[in-house]
Amino acid sequence: MTRRLLIVEDDPGLQSQMRWCFSDDLEVSLASDRESALALLRREEPNVVTLDLGLPPDPGGASEGFSLLEEILRLAPLTKIIVVTGREDKENAVKAIGMGASDFYQKPLDADILTFVVDRAFRLYELERENRELANQQNATNIKGIVAASPQMLQVCRTLEKIAPTDVTTLINGETGTGKELLARALHDLSPRASKPFAAINCAAIPEALLESELFGYEKGAFTGATQNKKGKIESANGGTLFLDEIGDMPFALQAKLLRFLQERMIDRVGAIEPISVDVRVICATHRNLNQLIEGGEFREDLYYRISEITLDVPALRDRDGDALVLAQSLLKSIGKELDRPNLSFAEDAISAVNNYPWPGNVREMINKVKRAIIMAEGKRVTAEDLSLQATSTQDEKCLNLRQIRETAERRALNQALQVSGFNMARAARLLGITRPTIYSLTDKYNIETSEASPES
Ligand SMILES: Nc1ncnc2c1ncn2[C@@H]1O[C@H](COP(=O)(O)OP(=O)(O)OP(=O)(O)O)[C@@H](O)[C@H]1O
């Protein structure tokens, strides 16, 4: 980390004396009044500031110093501020500490003590930064393979742990890529059936004509090509767990046969005379709204009640507070290891882009983007561009007035609408409830790219 120090001191003699106290491994900038101090704060983002309380226009008092202290802490609350006071100025030093300064230093200047105090402030800053990073990286679930720290996902995991030891038929609802199959496997792994098979079948991926024999198996001679008996998925899960993915896409005709199996726990292989008894726990998943399918006559209501003894609603990644970054960091580590690039980290623009992007394809989309970024990253730091995400400026978060707040919000909304619409301007304009000319003039105003970065970029 580059260590950046800002010295705010109006006496030019003291300024240069202080400057020379510090070795070259510090980047030092100098300000002699509030305005230049704030400009440097924004431009250099110093980690530590030494602040003389007696600044113009009140060099004999401390009012200007106090208001600058307040403003620095408001704009950059993580900055460590050391107030510099006169020898007799204990009261103001104590007041400044009460307001949030991390330390104080009394004139006259003593180089050894000053460097000691400043070094200590840098160490404190660094420790706090490491702490924040660790807290961000912490995976709060105990379930193997599931990375989550948000209250929304922790609630899902708690429910999962409660229902895992039972045999209740569970329906997992959630958008594509939210981890439904992963949760189904976790339910199996935490159940008494863990040592028995976990058989998964994707009802949407198998042609309707084949799905029945895939699920229920067939007897020799049942149809042309059936040269021997074959177990279906349900039978192959015997003793364990059957996972029916995309249950909303199960053909209507087959739903009745599945319902009978769920009621009687017996299956009829295609072409068989005798039913076979099977002991499986059933977990279903869908990204579709089954109630709507029922209303539209595409899904049987009685089957719905059978499969949803308990439902688990998996929130979209954008609705999990803080999970995007936790997941991105975990993926950067694990995929980085696989691809032989183990020591990468995210640049600041990547962190804010990960936090601001709505992740319509959820965790699966994130896996793809992180993989791409690991391949594309040129140095040790992965940028928003490597992730093919729009960089959102962190500086904007520290806006000072209504105009800037409005502009930040507009820029963010435009970026999100463009990402969600796949850079289709007409769709993005519709999402925002504005006309096409307006969206073009806004993207011009904010200098926003209106096409997706190509994979080569
Ligand atoms: N919380 C998580 N922690 C770690 N990896 C996750 C998490 N959620 C999902 N994944 C990973 O994301 C990918 C997609 O997850 P999964 O296939 O379980 O999603 P899905 O909801 O079943 O998707 P679809 O509806 O498209 O079938 C998998 O590689 C999975 O391991």
**CATH (domain of 57):** 3.40.50.2300
Residue 308 φ/ψ, nearest 5 degrees: -115, 45
Examine residue 139 and state whether it is found in any structural domain, yes or no.
no
- Number of folded domains that form the chain: 4
- 183 Cα: distance to centroid of ligand 1 (angstroms): 8
226 and 242 housed in the same domain: yes
Residue numbers of the domain that contains 49 = 3-130
- On whether both 172 and 298 belong to a single domain, the answer is yes
CA 170 to ligand 1 center in whole angstroms: 17
Q: Are residues 195 and 271 in the same domain?
A: yes
Ligand 1: distance of its center to the CA of 281 in Å? 21
Q: What is the average per-residue pLDDT within 186-194?
A: 96
Ligand 1 atom with the shortest distance to the CA of 176 = 25
Are 162 and 281 in a shared domain? yes
Same domain? For 184 and 308 the reply is yes
Tens of pLDDT, residue by residue over 299-338, are: 999 999 999 999 999 999 999 887 898 899 889 999 999 9
Taking the CB of residue 1, how many other CB atoms lie within 10 A of it?
8
Q: For residue 35, count other CB atoms closer than 10 A to its CB.
A: 10
Average pLDDT of the residues of the chain: 88
Residues 6+ apart with CB under 8 A from 255: 299, 300, 303
Going through 288-418 in order, the beta strands assigned E by DSSP cover: 310-313, 345-346, 381-382
Residue 301 lies in a domain: yes
- Ramachandran category for residue 27: left, alpha or beta (phi over 0 → left; psi -120 to 50 → alpha): beta
Look at residue 453 and tell me whether its pLDDT is greater than 60: no
Are 278 and 410 contained in the same domain? no
| Contact indicator for 160, 300 with CB cutoff of 8 Å | no
3-state SS of 130-199 is HHHHHHHHCCCCCCCCCCCCCHHHHHHHHHHHHHCCCCCCEEEECCCCCCHHHHHHHHHHCCCCCCCCEE
Residue from 363, 365, 366 to probe ligand 1 pocket by mutation (most atoms less than 8 Å from CB): 363
Same domain, 281 and 321: no
Q: Does residue 163 sit in the same domain as residue 307?
A: yes
Mutate to test the pocket of ligand 1, among 160, 182, 185, 359 (most ligand atoms within 8 A of CB): 182
179 lines ligand 1 (CB under 6 A): yes
Q: Please report how the helices 63-75 and 90-99 are oriented relative to each other, as an axis angle in degrees rounded to 10.
A: 20
State residue 87's pLDDT score: 77
What's the CA gap between 319 and 32, in Å, rounded?
46
Same-domain pairing of 9 and 125: yes
Residue 235 beta carbon below 6 angstroms from any ligand 1 atom: no
CA distance linking residue 286 with residue 315, whole number of Å: 13
What is the reported pTM? 0.61
- Residue 230 per-residue DSSP state: B
**ipTM summary value:** 0.98
Shared domain check, 117 and 42: yes
Question: Which of 344, 375, 392 is a domain's end point?
Answer: 392
**173 lies in the same domain as 296:** yes
Query: Does residue 2 have a pLDDT over 90?
Result: no
Mean pLDDT score, 345-351: 83
Of the three residues 101, 130, 159, the one that is the final residue of a domain is 130
Q: Is residue 144 part of a domain?
A: no
Residues 447-455 have a mean pLDDT of: 62
Place of tokens 């993989």: 371
Would you call the peptide bond into 358 cis, given omega within 30 degrees of 0 as the criterion?
A: no
Q: Which of 315, 332, 360 is the last residue before a domain boundary?
A: 315
CATH number at residue 361: 1.10.8.60
Q: Does the beta carbon of 185 sit less than 6 angstroms from any atom of ligand 1?
A: no
Sheet holding 198-202, edge to edge: 198-202, 241-245, 281-286, 170-173, 310-313
pLDDT of residue 456: 34
pLDDT at 344: 86
Residue-wise pLDDT tens digits, 211-248: 999 999 988 877 877 788 888 999 999 999 999 999 99
Q: Are residues 69 and 109 in the same domain?
A: yes
CATH of the domain at 420: 1.10.10.60
pLDDT in tens, 8-50: 999 999 999 999 888 888 999 999 999 999 989 988 889 999 9
CA of 367 to the centre of ligand 1 (A): 9
